[in-house]
């Protein structure tokens, strides 16, 4: 971007593009220099900015909680210990309220999802130009700071949860019980003939319901965060439209940033809660 004057459309497109690494049309592996090059790289490409920021935030979460745990005292706790204990108690209460079975994995998983997704969402509060300017100083063309605005990240999280749902559905109910759950409801009958008639209908409906879980889980997070980032970009465009619009943009920026704190927290909470609910459904046996 150095030395270039971008139109509003080019500015928006530039700030929505990930730093993509993959195999180009010429067969060589490298970084995409345009949105078209990134698209041409296809499925087997990597958004290095999303992966890098996600990993760094995950490590930050682990190191912070480990540091607090190693320094925890039974006496009067410090501010960091109070904060971590509050988060743990909050997650523990959410799990107890939504998960009716016993599984030692669910609470740590819920804690990880909530904090990790919150931290990824929190990156949206950084100035929208920081990522591209950081990339420019390093000789890169693109860089996005918010991993949860990348559908690859949200789908990766949702599919991981979906894999756990399938695993526990089979482990708790057995193959037979899981297949029965897919074929013998919601339409039920006492006669064998009607059960056979309802079987394909039930299988279709339950399969759609099952597959819809990771799709809705991922798209809900992605859609809300992508829309929030787009609003920040549009506000940033207004800064270059003169003193009056620039001043108004400053007020909009402050107001939207304050409101966005609620959004990023709520989206992390919803993702965590639905994960708990889906795992609870996977542990529940239908008779």
Q: Catalytic residues, which ones?
A: 216, 220, 224
User: Cα dihedral sign for 94, 218, 103, 170?
Assistant: positive
Q: CA quadruple 75, 77, 81, 86: dihedral positive or negative?
A: positive
Query: Residue 276 burial (CB < 10 Å; 0-12/13-18/19+)?
Result: buried
Is the distance from CB of 275 to CB of 161 less than 8 angstroms? yes
List all residues 6 or more positions away from 226 whose beta carbon is below 8 Å from its beta carbon. Answer: 149
Q: List all residues 6 or more positions away from 139 whose beta carbon is below 8 Å from its beta carbon.
A: none
As a whole number of angstroms, the distance between CA 75 and CA 79 comes to: 13
């Amino acid at each position: 971007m150095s030395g270039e004057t971008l139109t509003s459309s080019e500015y928006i497109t530039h700030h929505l593009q990930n730093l993509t690494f993959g195999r180009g049309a010429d067969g060589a592996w490298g970084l995409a220099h345009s949105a078209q090059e990134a698209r041409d790289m296809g499925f087997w490409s990597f958004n290095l900015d999303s992966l890098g920021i996600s990993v760094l935030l995950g490590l930050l979460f682990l190191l912070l909680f480990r540091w607090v745990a190693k320094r925890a005292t039974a006496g009067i706790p410090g501010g960091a210990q109070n904060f971590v204990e509050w988060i743990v108690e909050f997650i523990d209460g959410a799990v107890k309220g939504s998960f009716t079975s016993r599984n030692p994995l669910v609470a740590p998983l819920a804690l990880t999802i909530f904090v990790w997704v919150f931290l990824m969402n929190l990156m949206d509060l950084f100035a929208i130009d920081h990522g591209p300017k950081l990339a420019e100083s390093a000789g890169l063309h693109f860089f996005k700071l918010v991993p949860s605005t990348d559908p690859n990240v949200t789908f990766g999280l949702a599919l991981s949860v979906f894999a756990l749902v399938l695993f526990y559905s089979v482990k708790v109910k057995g193959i037979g019980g899981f297949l029965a759950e897919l074929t013998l409801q919601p339409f039920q009958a006492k006669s064998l003939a009607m059960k056979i008639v309802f079987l394909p209908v039930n299988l279709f409906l339950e399969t759609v319901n099952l597959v819809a879980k990771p799709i809705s889980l991922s798209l809900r997070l992605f859609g809300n965060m992508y829309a929030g980032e787009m609003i920040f970009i549009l506000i940033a465009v207004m800064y270059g439209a003169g003193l009056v619009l620039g001043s108004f943009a400053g007020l909009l920026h402050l107001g939207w940033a304050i409101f966005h704190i609620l959004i990023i927290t709520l989206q992390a909470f919803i993702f965590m809660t639905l994960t708990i609910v889906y795992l609870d459904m996977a542990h529940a046996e239908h008779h």
